[in-house]
Amino acid sequence: MLTNADITIFNRYVDLKMRKTIYIPHHVERVWFNADQKSTVSDGGIVSANEYKIRIPYSECDSWLPENDFLELETPGDNWTVQKNDMFILGKWNGGSVDGIEDIRKEFSGMVGKILSHSENFFGSQKHIRIGGGD
């Protein structure tokens, strides 16, 4: 699979000690990334939004866990997952965990998105995780 970018995924995780939800970053070095502008007509006029497609090759999934296994961890460590409503940025995040997308946008001026759908396609010759995202 061809790769053209690197991303950071922010996994939603409930910190029991702090009693709040935080987002833990995990950098993935080689992914295929595509951004597209979609427009729809509504009663208020034309509405435009970004649509993102991401493919993470199986070779980049060493510390990946299924969503339920990730949520059962006492501490995530180097493990990561892909969950609906997690967030991502195009590039590498140099900070720590965040409380939400607003924290990311304050510190990062690049492309920021939310995971809207995903599937694990671990069969065939092009094994990968497929992510669909948007603004």
Closest CA to 10 of 80, 94, 108: 80
pLDDT in tens, 40-96: 888 888 888 899 999 999 999 999 999 999 988 888 889 999 999 999 999 999 999
pTM of the model as a whole: 0.90
12/105 Cα distance (integer angstroms): 17
pLDDT in tens, 27-41: 999 999 999 998 888
Is residue 15 predicted with pLDDT exceeding 90? no
Q: Does 76 or 1 have the greater pLDDT score? A: 76
- For the chain, what are the domain ranges? 5-134
> Residue 14 above 90 pLDDT?
no
For residue 115, how many other CB atoms are within 10 A of its CB? 22
pLDDT tens digits, one per residue of 98-121: 999 999 999 999 999 999 999 999
